[in-house]
Structures are given as C-alpha cells and as structure tokens.
Amino acid sequence: MTNLTAAEIADGVRAGKMTARSVVNDHLARIDEVNPQVNAVTVVLADRAREAASALDERIARGEDPGPLAGVPISVKENIDLTWSATTSGLPFAAGNVPPANATFVDKLLAAGAIPVARGNMPDIGLRWDTDNDLFGRTLNPWDATRVPGGSSGGDAVAVATGMVAAGLGNDYGGSLRLPAHAAGITALRPSAGRVPGPSRGVEPLPLSIQHMAVNGPLARSVADLDLLFGVMHGADDFDPLSVTVPHPSGYDGPRRVAVTADPCGWGVDPLVASAVRDAAAALAAAGWEVEEVEPPSIDRCATIWRQLSSTENAPMLLTPGVFPGPLSAGTVRYFKDNIVDVDLLDTSAAYQGAWAERFVHAAAWRAFHARYPIVLGPVTTQPMPVIGYDLSGPEATTELWKAHRLLVTANFLGLPAVAVPTGVSGSRPLGVQVIARQHGEHIALAAARDIETAFPPITPVRTGTARR
C-alpha cells in the first residue's frame, strides 16, 4: 500500500477494498524499515494513528462518509501544531512543547479522514536550506547521502519520497516546500499568501516578512494529490488575520500561455537544470500551451529585497543575546551570521519602509505579466543540491545558494502560488522545475504541473526504493 497515492488510498478505503488500519500498519512498517536509513521521521505516532484508523473503519462500517482523505497517512512538520506530540521546531528546549490545539488546516485534514503517522524533521526554526538540528539530527537525501535533502521541510519530503507517508505537511518561507520536494523527486505546492492559515492558532509577533511570505502547504507524489490536499486545507480561520477564503476551481480553462526562463536574471545555470526547464516547456507545448522564452519582471530585485527583509528582520531575534527564548544550533547561528555578511541590511526606517513599498511595485508588474502569461516556468534551483556542509563554508557559499534560489524566493517575496514537479532523473540526481501562477491561481499552477508530470515517467530514490507516482 505504500506504493499508492493519497487519492488511490482514499478511494480504496472508501470502497472497502482496504481498511484504514491496514493502510496505517503498512506505512508504520515502512517507517520501521526505511527511517533508520534517512532519519526523516522524528516521532512515530503509532498508537494514536492506529486508534484513528480503527475509528475510521468503524465509521465506514456504520455507513458514514469517511471523508475525501479516508485513511491517508500523512506526516506533520515539527513546527506545525498537532496535539499528538510536541511542536519543537527542531529545538531541544521545546521538546515538551505540546500545543493546546491543532492548526486549523490540520483539523480540516483530520476531519477529511487523513491520519498523521509521524512528524517530519526540519532545521531548527526552519532558517536553513538543509535539514539538521541538535534535537533530532540530520535527515539524509535518499538519492545521494553526500548531498543535502533541502530544507526546511526536508523530513516530510523524504518521508513522502520513500513511501513512509502518502503526503506531508510543511511550510515555505524561502522555498522550504519546493526545494526539498525537488531534492527528493516529488511534488509540492506553495500556496498564495493567506490561502492556508498559520501553523498554530496562536498569533505571535513574528517579523513582517514571515507573516507575509511564509505559507503552509502539502507535499505529495502526484500533482493530483496536491490538488486533493489543498482543496481540503485552504480557507480562512478565526485566528490568522491574514488568512482568506477564495474559491478553488477544479480545473483551468483560461488562456494557456507560458513564459519560460531557464536562467533567471542571467546569473548562470547548470546545464542539466536548463535542459529540464526546456523539456518541461516542450511538454507544455505538446499539451497545447503556447510557450515563449521571456524573462519575468525584476527577479533580481525581488530576490534581493527578499534577502534584505528576511535578514534585517531576523537578525535582531537570532543574534541578539537574550532575545530568542533558547539556544540555537551552532549550524543555524553560523549560517545566519555568514548569510548577512553580503547583505545590505535595511538599518534605517526609510530603507526598511522603502523595501516594502518597492515590493508593491514589483507585485504590480508581475500581476500585469501574469495577465499575459498565466504561467511562469523556470528552475527550482539553478544548481545541483549542494554537498553537506556547503552552506556552512562561509559567506560566499550562502550568497551562491541565495543566487541559485532566486526564482524560489521571488515567489515568496510576491506571495505567489508555485508548484515543484519532477521531470526525470540523471544518475542519482532528480531533475525538476517549478511553475508560478498569479495570486490565488493555484488551480492554474496545478493544471500546468499536471501536464508536465504526465510527460515524464515516475522516479524512485536509488538508496531506499519507494512508492511511485
């Protein structure tokens, strides 16, 4: 059963072809088999998962509707509230931090029949493009153990890719859903800002960039599963004042034009990355999309201001003694210190206000561009996933990583929806692309991603074997 998609599991459980209990047991066995190799799962929720599965089977036996995600095993990232275990964010001092309530979207998924079976690993507080912390240790890339699995939703991405869960829940402030999905060879949806409420029901005085650029979303092995999960997750709640409810259409019948950028800004791109983008463009053209190589507006400025805002706002919290409520790992502190060396911090009120004002200008330019090109197709990252430790090798490395992720963080800066989708594999290296749509255009991005996905065979991590698309 670990070879099935979320939709296939839900259909099978609803139809009585399998029980939720058997599905959960198979995935728990898969965790026992695979997790020691990759350390993607931090906490196994075996007893609670089995209880939930048995209760779901009893509801089905009584003739009740089990929901659209009946029996689907999911993982929940360590910084998303689930009352079944502590929300640690990878911090040792938060190991006992059991939340009083679930995140609203977690409750929606539980009501739809999904069953959490594990928590997913992450870097402490999620501010690295890698997955390692002092509480749970390092998650390994299932394709190549010498390279990082991406971050910060790396544990959930690897759990999905290796068949330990059918889907995962993560979040994305600077590519933290799309990058680890790309590294693992699976799919991920970064929703528009506000479409999915926050990871807890409590509102904290977080930096503005996190409030407006960080989102929660799903990881899965198929684009159809992303659509299914997002259809349940989205919608405002009574706790997150920035959350919105916008209809999510079941398909897309609008203009089918694509702007392709293989080397955003012309800052350089790995040949295999460029080839993957062009292969995806050809797939979209074959599916009836009008494809044109054209550069979207101001990616250089969008990426630059994202870095300035995130660095300026997080530096006082992370580097000022006594501000953060407990110690951070040495790796996170070192990464952040190196990261801000090459950043022109917005250290005056005029500069800070000007950056947010300029964001509005670029958002308007992208809205006009999306009116002409509903989809922007480009790389997830312009370079291969780095070897372990590269991001801690000095300021030059952190700057090179940011440059490689320039299209990733542009979507965050502008609050736009984007889908990462694999396009094949070269040796032990998954290949893939991302598609970016206009604000609240998740259905457009999903439609394009589905057409790309259809053109390529599914891929399987070489070290562990796994479920396939």
Label residues 359-376 b or e (16+ Cβ within 10 Å = b): beebbebbeebbeebbbb
Q: Of 27, 80, 36, 41, nearest to 158 (Cα)?
A: 41
Residue 44 lies in a domain: yes
Q: Which domain holds residue 438?
A: 6-454
- 404 Rama sector, left if φ>0, alpha if ψ -120 to 50, beta otherwise: alpha
Say if 462 falls within a structural domain: no
The residue among 136, 29, 32 whose CA lies nearest residue 77 is 136
Catalytic residue (one of 85, 89, 152, 222): 152
pLDDT value at position 370? Answer: 98
Cα→Cα distances 86→90, 96, 372, Å = 10, 6, 46
The 10 Å Cβ neighbour count of residue 286 is 12
Q: Is 275 a catalytic residue?
A: no
In a domain, 467, yes or no: no
Which CATH number belongs to the domain containing residue 441 in this structure? 3.90.1300.10
Q: How far is CA 323 from CA 204, 233, 316, in A?
A: 14, 33, 8
Amino acid at 188: A
Could you tell me the two tokens for 406? 């320039």
- Sign for the CA dihedral angle at 97, 99, 103, 108 comes to positive
Residue 77 bears catalytic tag: yes
Conformation bin of residue 440: beta by default, left when phi > 0, alpha when psi is -120 to 50: left
Confidence at residue 463, expressed as pLDDT on a 0 to 100 scale: 54
- In a domain, residue 356? The reply is yes
Q: What are the b/e assignments for 432-443, b being 16+ CB within 10 Å?
A: bbbbbbbbbbbb
Number of domains observed in the structure of the chain: 1
Cα atoms found within 13 Å of the Cα of residue 125, Cβ hemisphere only: 19
Q: What is the pTM of this model?
A: 0.97
Phi and psi angles of residue 18, each rounded to the nearest 5 degrees, phi first: -155, 160
In residues, how long is the chain?
Answer: 469
Task: Establish whether 152 is a catalytic residue.
Answer: yes
Q: Which two tokens stand for residue 415?
A: 């609050």
Q: What is the residue-level pLDDT of the chain in tens, covering all 469 positions?
A: 999 999 999 999 999 999 999 999 999 999 999 999 999 999 999 999 999 999 999 999 999 999 999 999 999 999 999 999 999 999 999 999 999 999 999 999 999 999 999 999 999 999 999 999 999 999 999 999 999 999 999 999 999 999 999 999 999 999 999 999 999 999 999 999 999 999 999 878 889 999 999 999 999 999 999 999 999 999 999 999 999 999 999 999 999 999 999 999 999 999 999 999 999 999 999 999 999 999 999 999 999 999 999 999 999 988 888 889 999 999 999 999 999 999 999 999 999 999 999 999 999 999 999 999 999 999 999 999 999 999 999 999 999 999 999 999 999 999 999 999 999 999 999 999 999 999 999 999 999 999 999 999 988 785 565 434 4
228 domain residue, yes or no = yes
Q: Which one of 176, 200, 209, 329 is the catalytic residue? A: 176
